[in-house]
Structure formats: structure tokens, C-alpha cells
Amino acid sequence: MDMNSATSQFKNRFGYSPARIVRAPGRINLLGEHVDYNDGLVLPAAIDRATYIAFSPSVTDRSTIVAVDFDQPAVFSVEGLSAKSQTDGSPLPEWAHYPTGLMWALREAGLATPAMDAVFLSNVPRGSGLSSSASVEMAFALAWQTLGGWTRSPMERALLGQKAENQYVGVNCGIMDQFASACGEENKALLLDCRSLEYRSLPLPESVSLVVADTTVRRKLTSGEYNNRRNACEETVNLLKDDLRAMTSLSEVHLVDITILAKGLPPELARRSRHVVEEIGRVNQSQSLLEAGDVQQFGQLMNQCHVSLRDLYEVSIPELDAMVEIAQGLRGCYGARLTGAGFGGCTINLVEREHASEFVERLAKGYESNTGLHPEIYICRASDGARLL
Ligand code: ADP
Ligand code: MG
């Protein structure tokens, strides 16, 4: 599953060799959960699982894009973009909304999107919290940049990808996923200020692995709960405005203030906002810890984050708690917490590399005997962002 298979798949489908290959990774988030939509700080890293596209300019005005993982082509041109239809009038398959969404967003920005022949495939698991969708988007943004002969910065491409996902695909995501896929750096975590979009990279020791453990629990009403949490944060901002007039997001509340301010809030809102403010504080703290290579203390912040997501933000479930508790008791584990929206999905674990395979084995066993479920567990390392190969 890499650039060689993208090339051979392209030759199979189109009968000639592709002009170029791009690679764009998935991502994990080490710290800063449920703070992106509060304009706070997040700490994602791109990972060594990625989407690969092999592509060439098309000699026609139609793009033919094959999703190898779905064994399905989509054929489209500019005319069918807003109707989300293919050139034969049939609806675009759902996966094609990501590439066509990118095409739409790029064209909205006045950028050329020449027709292409392309195949793409990915080893980022879909719908598991590693952001396969952003990796597809950032790969196509770079493919079109290459064919279109224009240049936008990685952050600008990330914003165009977010726009495609928000407005064309119809998913209300923040900027973190596309940002990490576009701007990732090997063996680095990225500290992003979601308001200013300023960021810097922080070193992750080569001796640690990023282990993602999927509980395999998928809750149906997750988006409802996610929207509830977003609304709670907005409501809190509105209530606090009486005290802090110019305030527009929870990221502006200081750690010392939240204790006082929370007293005047309904208990549920007090818990939610305390999580957000303290979580931003933890990401702030993580900066000097990672600079000093102190993964031990950094791992403690991840553990604290889990407690906060469980008790204050209340987005955990027994399966996530079990996965985290088991992990925290294993050799080589610095920190473990639930990651993503919650109510199912994955945990992220920071693990000493030499113990990583043993960790995976024991975590899987422990989780299985505790819950009867078979988890999917991925060992990752921090990798480069989207690149032409
Ligand atoms: P994730 O958390 O992995 O980003 P999403 O639901 O946001 O989950 O995105 C998953 C969707 O992205 C898939 O249903 C599919 O439409 C698209 N996608 C992701 N990976 C691929 C792939 N390898 N091939 C085609 N489409 C993909
Ligand atoms: Mg996604």
C-alpha cells in the first residue's frame, strides 16, 4: 500500500504510466480535545499512514478518478460539480464528494483544476478517527496544484480543504485535520492556535510511538452529542459576556478566572467550560515539556485530559474508559486518553517504542477480556505532511 501500488494500479486502469504521485497523511491529536471549535490550542501530528494518488493530466475535459479501495471509478467535469453528478448524469458516489469538493473549493478560489486521470488508495483506516477524509482532500489539493501550475501554502490548501468538507461534503469539521495532513513534520507534533492559525512544531523523541486503539464502538447519535457540546460552549460565552464584554470564545478565559466565573454558571456549563479552559492550559504546558523531551510529564497531561473528558466534558463511555485504564497499567505507556468526539472511537497512547508491540498485544487481550470486543490497534509515528513524491 504505497507509491508502487498506486503506480501499478494506474498502469492497469489507464494503460500508461502516471506523471506524478502525491502522498498526504492521516493524523492523530496528542492533546487539545474539543478545543478547536473554541478557538483554542491543539497538538496534532501527521502519521505514517497516508493516501497516495497516481495522476496525469487528462487529454479530455473529463476527470476519471478511480478509488482503488472501493474498486470504483467516477467520471466528472466542471459542469456536473454543483449537482454532484457524473458526466453520464448518474450521481457521484459518496467517496467522490471529497475530490470533487476540493475541485469546487479550488475553483471558488479562482484556481485552475485541469481534468486528470487518477487512481488513489490509502492505508488510513476510514471513519476511525485518523482523518482519512482530510488525507484524501490534501492529496487532491496537491495533485491539482501540480497540474494547475499555481502555488498555495500548505495552510492555504488546508483551509480550502476545510471549506470543501464544510460546504460541499457537508461535514462541520474544524481546521485541525487538514492542517495536520498539510503541514506535518517528521518526528514533530504541531502546536496550532486555532484562532490565529499560527503554529510551531515541537519535537517528539524518536523513541516514542503513537498508538491508536479503536474500541470499535460506533455510537449513532454522536453528531447530536457533538452539537450539544458546541452549543454548551456558545451558551457559556453568551452568559459570560456580561462579565467579559468583548469575549468571543472560551479560549479567552484564563485558568484563574474560570474558577470564579464557573460559580455563576449552571453546573453543566461550568463543567464543560472548565474542561475547555483547563485543556487549553494543558496544551500550553506541553510546549516546554516537549521542548525539554519530558515525555513522562507530557504523558501525565494526556492522562489528565482523559479524566477531564470523562468527568467534566462527559463524552466517554465504559469501553473508552476500559481501553485507557488498561493502557495506563502497561509497561512503556506514558499517557493514554480518548480522542476525537467521544462516545466511541479511539484512544491515543504515547508508548516507548521498544515496548510498543508488547503494549499492543496486552492492550488487545485486556480489552477483549474486559469487553468481549476485538479492538483495532495501530502503531504510528509522526511523519511529513502532504508531498509530491
Ligand atoms: P475519518 O475520521 O476517517 O476522516 P470521515 O467519515 O470523515 O472519517 O471520512 C471517511 C470518508 O472519506 C469515507 O467514507 C470516504 O467517503 C472518504 N475516504 C476516505 N478514505 C478513502 C479512500 N481510501 N478511498 C475513497 N474514499 C475515501
Ligand atoms: Mg474526517
User: Which atom of ligand 1 approaches the CA of 97 most closely?
Assistant: 16
User: Which atom of ligand 1 approaches the CA of 121 most closely?
Assistant: 23
Mean pLDDT of 203-220: 93
133 pocket-lining for ligand 1 (C-beta < 6 Å) = yes
Pocket test for ligand 1, best of 126, 130, 171 (most atoms within 8 A of CB): 126
How much distance in Å is there from the Cα of 26 to the middle of ligand 1?
11
95 pocket-lining for ligand 1 (C-beta < 6 Å) = yes
- pLDDT for 244: 65
pLDDT band at 243 (very low <50, low <70, confident <90, very high): low
- In the structure, how many helices (H) and strands (E) does the chain have? 11, 13
By mean pLDDT, which of 147-161, 165-179, 236-250, 327-341 is the weakest? 236-250
Q: Hey, how many other C-beta atoms are within 10 angstroms of the C-beta on 220?
A: 8
Mean pLDDT of 42-60: 97
User: Which atom of ligand 1 approaches the CA of 51 most closely?
Assistant: 23
Q: Give per-residue pLDDT as tens, 349-382.
A: 999 999 999 999 999 999 999 999 999 999 999 9
pLDDT band at 225 (very low <50, low <70, confident <90, very high): confident
The catalytically annotated residue of 36, 39, 177, 214 is 177
Whose C-alpha lies nearest to ligand 1, atom 5? 127
The cell for 115 is 481534468
pTM above 0.75, yes or no: yes
How much distance in Å is there from the Cα of 134 to the middle of ligand 2?
6
By mean pLDDT, which of 65-79, 88-102, 136-150, 165-179 is the weakest? 165-179
178 pocket-lining for ligand 1 (C-beta < 6 Å) = no
Whose C-alpha lies nearest to ligand 1, atom 20? 132
How much distance in Å is there from the Cα of 319 to the middle of ligand 2?
22
Pocket test for ligand 1, best of 132, 137, 171, 378 (most atoms within 8 A of CB): 132
129 pocket-lining for ligand 1 (C-beta < 6 Å) = yes
* Residue type (1 letter), 281: G
- pLDDT for 256: 73
The cell for 218 is 460506533
Identify the nearest ligand to the CA of 345 by its number.
Answer: 1
69 pocket-lining for ligand 1 (C-beta < 6 Å) = yes
Per-residue buried b or exposed e for 151-190, using 16+ beta carbons within 10 Å of the residue's own CB? ebebbebbbbbbbbbbebbeeebbbbbbbbbbbbbeebbb
Per-residue DSSP letters for 184-252?
--TTEEEEEETTT--EEEEE--TTEEEEEEE-----TTHHHHHHHHHHHHHHHHHHHTTTSTT--SGGG
- pLDDT for 365: 98
Per-residue DSSP letters for 55-75?
EEE-SSSSEEEEEGGGTEEEE
Q: Is the predicted pLDDT of residue 116 greater than 90, yes or no?
A: yes
For residue 214, indicate whether it is catalytic.
no
Which helix (H) or strand (E) is 352 found in, with range?
Answer: strand 346-352
CB 46 within 8 A of CB 180: yes
Rounded (to 5) percent helix, strand, coil in the chain: 45, 20, 30
CA distances, 313 to each of 97, 113, 142, 307, 329 (Å) = 32, 42, 37, 9, 24
Identify the nearest ligand to the CA of 127 by its number.
Answer: 1
Whose C-alpha lies nearest to ligand 1, atom 26? 95
How much distance in Å is there from the Cα of 108 to the middle of ligand 1?
23
How much distance in Å is there from the Cα of 49 to the middle of ligand 1?
13
pLDDT band at 222 (very low <50, low <70, confident <90, very high): low
Identify the nearest ligand to the CA of 140 by its number.
Answer: 1
Q: Give per-residue pLDDT as tens, 185-201.
A: 999 999 999 999 999 99
Q: Hey, how many other C-beta atoms are within 10 angstroms of the C-beta on 98?
A: 27
Q: Give per-residue pLDDT as tens, 268-318.
A: 999 999 999 999 999 999 999 999 999 999 999 999 999 999 999 999 999
